[in-house]
Structure 1
C-alpha cells in the first residue's frame, strides 16, 4: 500500500487526466494548442488578413459573408440623435445631418458610407483605421488602410513608452499614439513611405477585442479560413471531374489494324486528338473492343456534404446559413424567425460595443465640441455630448403580427413610443413633424382619413352566416 503522501502527489500531478481534452495518448497528441493567444495574434494577424482579403475578393461565400455583416451592422447608416432639450436637440440634429454629407475628407462618400467602409474592413482585415482631418473650424474623417499602421514597429522609447505593432502605450498601458505610414504599401510611386506619430485623440482604431491586452484586430474569417479554402478546392475538383466526365469519349477499332486516314497524335498503337464532347479515339490494334467512358455523377451525399460544410462556415462567421448561401429551401416561418431573433441580438451587441463605442461616439464628441467652440451652437459641451444612435430598421418576417405585438407593448407600458420608432430607424421628432404636417395639409384640403377598426379574432368553429 502506497504512503498517503505519495498518493497525494500522484493525484496532484495526474489531476488533469480528469479532463479528457487535456489527456495524452494518440487522441491528445492530435489536438492543437494555443498557449499564448496574444503572441499568436501578433504573429498571425498579417497573414490571416492577407488571406481573408483574397477570399473576400474571389470566394462567393466569403464575399456574401462580408455583405451580410455590413448590411446587418450598418445598412443605410446609423444616425445620431442628440439627447439635449427640444430646441437645442433639433438644432444639433439638423447640423449633424448636414455635416454627414461633408464628413469624408476624400469627398467620395458621406458619413454613412464611411460606416460601411469601416465595418467592411473590420470584417475582412480584423480592424479599421481612420484619422480626423482639421480644416479650419471644420472636422473631416479619412479612412485609412489598416496596414498603414506599422505592424513592424515594436520598441521601447526613451520616455518609457512602449510601441507594440505600431500602437504606443504609456506606463499605465493606455494608448497614447499611433505610428502610421502616409500611404498604403505598394503606393510609394518612387518615393519611400514616411511614418508619422499621431496622438491617440486623432485616430479611430476599430476592432473586436477578444483577448484582454489585445492591440490589433483579427479577421473574422480566421475560424473558417481553412474550411473555405478546402471547400473551394473541393468544388474546383468536382467541377473539373464533371467537365472531364462530360467529354463522352468512344474508342473505335480499325479493321485493318491501322488508324489512317485519321488525324491526331500517334501514341503507340492509338491515335487520339484533344478530348472534346463526342470525341472518338481510334485504336489500331486488331482484336480490341469498343469502350465508352462512364461519366461520374454528383450523388445526394455530395450535395449534403457541401450543405453541411456551408453551415459550418456560417456558424464560424456568426451568420445564419441562409444569409451566407442565399438558400431558403429548408427554411420555414418558425426557423427563420428564431434564427433572426438570435442574429439580431448579436448584431445589436456589436453595434453597441464595436461601431458605436469605438467609432460613432468619438466622432460625435469631436464634432459637437467643435460646434460649441466655433460658436455655431450656443450651448455648453456637457449639453451637446449626450447622444443616442438610431440603427437601421430591422425588417420583420410577419409585419402584421409584429406591429400588433408592438402596439400591445406600447399600450401596456412595456415600451415607449420613442423606443418603437427608433427601432424602425426613424427620428421620432422628424416623424411627428411629418405627421403633423400631413394632418394639417389634409385638413386644409378638406380630406378625412379614417383608420378601420381592428378585426375580431377569427373563430374557425363559428358556423358560416347564411345568406339572406
Structure 2
C-alpha cells in the first residue's frame, strides 16, 4: 500500500478514509443509518424531534378545550384571524344558503315533469320557512336559517365542529326547528374520563357508530349561578324512522376520531407571534413619534454639583430653575410669524432615530401572512386584502385554487350539516300533507334521500374580468361541458329557473318595439352591428 492510499470505510453512500473519520461523522449526526431520514434517530436535525404515536381521540380530546379557547380568543382579538374567518364564512355560506332540489325521478320511477313541479313547490315552501322574519325555524327565534348555517359554519372553522339539535315545537306553524349548540356542552356526564364506548360525550356502538350524545344543561363558565352546569341530558342520534335529532359535523381525519379539532390549530402559534411582533413594532413607532426630539445638556447633575455646589444639590436645583425660566421667557419669541428657537447656553437638540418599524417589517409580515393564509386555506391576497402585486392571470389562478377548496368544504358542510335538517323538514311537509307525492309513488321513508336530494347554493365565485368570465361560461355551455343552471349558480349564486321566469316577465313588460337583451332579434342586431363596425374600421 502506498503512502498516499487509505483504507476506505463506507457509511451509507459516503466513503471515509478510516473508521475514526466515519465514527466522528456519526457522532456529529451528519449521516443517518436508516433508509428514511424521517425515521432516523442519528441525524442531528431529527434527534430532538420525537413525537409520540397516539390514538386519534387521545390526540384530539386531551388538548381540545385549550385549543378551542385559544382559537376563540384569536377570533375575537386578532384582526387577521377574524378577517379570515369572516371571509370564508361569507364566501361559502353568505346571506342566502339554500337547497337547489334535484329529486332522483329516475330512481323513483316518476316523470321529469313531476320532478320540476315538486322542485318548485318544495323550494317555494322552504324559502317561505327559511326567510320568515319571525324566525320560527330557529328554536331560539333569533336567526333565519341562512344565519344559523353561517353560525354553525363559523363554529366549525373556529372550534372544529358544528353541533345542532333538531327540535319539535308543536305551537309553531312549522314544527321542525333547529338549535345550534355550543360544543363545550357536549361532554361525558359528571366530566367522567373517556372510555372505550363513551368518548367526548358521545356513546359509541361496537362498530364506532355515534348512538347518543350527552349535553351539559348549563355552561360551567357562566357568570351567573346555573345548576344546569352539573346536570346532563342524553339525546339519541336519531328518532323514529331515522329522523335526525342531533347533527354533528366535523372533519374526520383519522379512524377512531369522534370529535373535531379547530382548523386554525396549526396556525395558532404563528398568529400569536405575528400579533406580538406587530404590537412591538407599533409601540416602537408610537414612542418614536412622541419622543421625536429632546434637549441634551453638556453636564450631568453630579458634575454640576461637584463644580459649583457644596454637595447638597442646591447648584443643580438653581440651574434647573434658571433653565426653566429661560425657556419660559423665550418660548414665545417669533420673527415673521415663525417661532425663534433659542437654547440655554451649551444645550443642544438631539433627535430620536426613526429606525422602527424596521425596513424589513412589511416583507417579513407578508411572509408570515402567506404562511397563515396557506394554513387556513386562502390566498395571501384574500387574507391581507393586498392586490397591489397581482395581475389578472395570477388572480385568476389563485381564485381557481382557493375556490376548489371552498367548493369541497361547502359540499361537505351542506351534506353533513344542512341536508339532514332539510330532510327532517321535508319529512314534516310530506307526512302532514303540505306537500303531496303522487299515488303509487315509492314509499317516502324507503326513498327519503331520493326525494330530498339537493345541491346547496351559496354566493357565486364572482368575476375577476366579467367579460372574459361570461365568454368562458358561454363557451363551456356551447361545448356541453356545463349548463346554464350550473353557470348561474357558480358565477352569481343565482337560480337559473328563477332568472328565466324573471326574464319572461321582463319581456312581457317591455314597451312595444323595445328589445330585451335576451331576445334573439337583439342578439342578431348586436351581431350585425358588430360586423358592420368591423367592416367600417377595416
Q: TM-score, normalised by structure 2?
A: 0.73
Q: Tell me the residue number matched to 2:466.
A: 399
Q: For residue 400 of structure 1, report the CA deviation from its aligned partner.
A: 0.5
Alpha-carbon contact 1:153-1:163 (below 8 Å) kept: no
Structure 1 pair 192–456 and aligned structure 2 pair: CA distance change class (3 A): farther
Give me the whole-angstrom Cα distance separating, in 1, the residues matched to 2:461 and 2:63.
36
Alpha-carbon contact 1:147-1:185 (below 8 Å) kept: no
Q: Tell me the residue number matched to 2:211.
A: 176
Q: Which has the larger radius of gyration?
A: 2
Structure 1 pair 69–458 and aligned structure 2 pair: CA distance change class (3 A): farther
Q: Tell me the residue number matched to 1:250.
A: 295
Is 2:489 the partner of 1:422?
yes
Is 2:225 the partner of 1:195?
no
Is 2:35 the partner of 1:18?
yes
Alpha-carbon contact 1:253-1:290 (below 8 Å) kept: no
Structure 1 pair 251–109 and aligned structure 2 pair: CA distance change class (3 A): same
Is 2:119 the partner of 1:89?
yes
Kindly tell me the number of residue pairs found equivalent between the two proteins.
424
Q: Tell me the residue number matched to 1:322.
A: 381
Is 2:147 the partner of 1:113?
yes
Is 2:421 the partner of 1:376?
no
Give me the whole-angstrom Cα distance separating, in 1, the residues matched to 2:169 and 2:92.
30
Alpha-carbon contact 2:160-2:260 (below 8 Å) kept: yes
Q: Tell me the residue number matched to 2:258.
A: 215
Q: For residue 106 of structure 1, report the CA deviation from its aligned partner.
A: 1.3
Alpha-carbon contact 2:294-2:349 (below 8 Å) kept: no
Give me the whole-angstrom Cα distance separating, in 2, the residues matched to 1:322 and 1:46.
32
Q: For residue 32 of structure 1, report the CA deviation from its aligned partner.
A: 4.8
Q: Tell me the residue number matched to 1:277.
A: none
Q: Tell me the residue number matched to 1:226.
A: 269
Q: Tell me the residue number matched to 1:279.
A: none
Alpha-carbon contact 2:282-2:357 (below 8 Å) kept: no
Task: Give the 3-state SS of the residue equivalent to 2:297 in structure 1.
Answer: strand
Structure 1 pair 109–289 and aligned structure 2 pair: CA distance change class (3 A): closer
Alpha-carbon contact 1:154-1:162 (below 8 Å) kept: no
Give me the whole-angstrom Cα distance separating, in 2, the residues matched to 1:299 and 1:456.
59
Pairs within 5 Å for 1:220-369: 220-246=263-289, 247=291, 248-253=293-298, 258-260=316-318, 262=320, 293-353=352-412, 355-369=413-427
Task: Give the 3-state SS of the residue equivalent to 2:397 in structure 1.
Answer: helix
Q: For residue 252 of structure 1, report the CA deviation from its aligned partner.
A: 1.6
Q: Tell me the residue number matched to 2:87.
A: 68
Deviation readout 1:107-166 (Å, 9 max, x if unpaired):
11111001110111111111121111101261000111111111644455xxxx811010
Give me the whole-angstrom Cα distance separating, in 1, the residues matched to 2:37 and 2:366.
31
Alpha-carbon contact 2:284-2:357 (below 8 Å) kept: no
Give me the whole-angstrom Cα distance separating, in 1, the residues matched to 2:100 and 2:353.
67
Structure 1 pair 244–291 and aligned structure 2 pair: CA distance change class (3 A): same
Alpha-carbon contact 1:133-1:142 (below 8 Å) kept: yes
Segment of structure 1 superposing worse, 209-218 or 113-122 = 209-218
The structure 2 residue matched to 1:150, chosen from 187, 202, 224, is: 187
Deviation readout 1:299-325 (Å, 9 max, x if unpaired):
432321111111111111111011111
Q: For residue 83 of structure 1, report the CA deviation from its aligned partner.
A: 2.2
Task: Give the 3-state SS of the residue equivalent to 1:173 in structure 2.
Answer: coil
Give me the whole-angstrom Cα distance separating, in 2, the residues matched to 1:418 and 1:166.
43
Alpha-carbon contact 1:153-1:164 (below 8 Å) kept: no
Structure 1 pair 289–364 and aligned structure 2 pair: CA distance change class (3 A): closer
Q: For residue 189 of structure 1, report the CA deviation from its aligned partner.
A: 3.3
Deviation readout 1:160-218 (Å, 9 max, x if unpaired):
x8110101111221111110122333337323122100111211112222222211111
Give me the whole-angstrom Cα distance separating, in 1, the residues matched to 2:496 and 2:353.
67
Alpha-carbon contact 2:281-2:356 (below 8 Å) kept: no
Q: Tell me the residue number matched to 1:41.
A: 60
Give me the whole-angstrom Cα distance separating, in 2, the residues matched to 1:415 and 1:293.
64
Give me the whole-angstrom Cα distance separating, in 1, the residues matched to 2:531 and 2:64.
60
Task: Give the 3-state SS of the residue equivalent to 1:142 in structure 2.
Answer: strand
Is 2:156 the partner of 1:122?
yes
Alpha-carbon contact 1:83-1:89 (below 8 Å) kept: yes
Structure 1 pair 207–407 and aligned structure 2 pair: CA distance change class (3 A): same
Task: Give the 3-state SS of the residue equivalent to 1:312 in structure 2.
Answer: helix
Give me the whole-angstrom Cα distance separating, in 1, the residues matched to 2:138 and 2:269.
36
Give me the whole-angstrom Cα distance separating, in 2, the residues matched to 1:142 and 1:124.
18
| Structure 1 spans left out of the alignment, 5+ residues | 1-13, 264-281
Q: Tell me the residue number matched to 1:8.
A: none
The structure 1 residue matched to 2:199, chosen from 158, 164, 167, is: 164
Q: Tell me the residue number matched to 1:410.
A: 477
Alpha-carbon contact 1:34-1:40 (below 8 Å) kept: no
Structure 1 pair 16–98 and aligned structure 2 pair: CA distance change class (3 A): farther
Q: Tell me the residue number matched to 2:106.
A: none
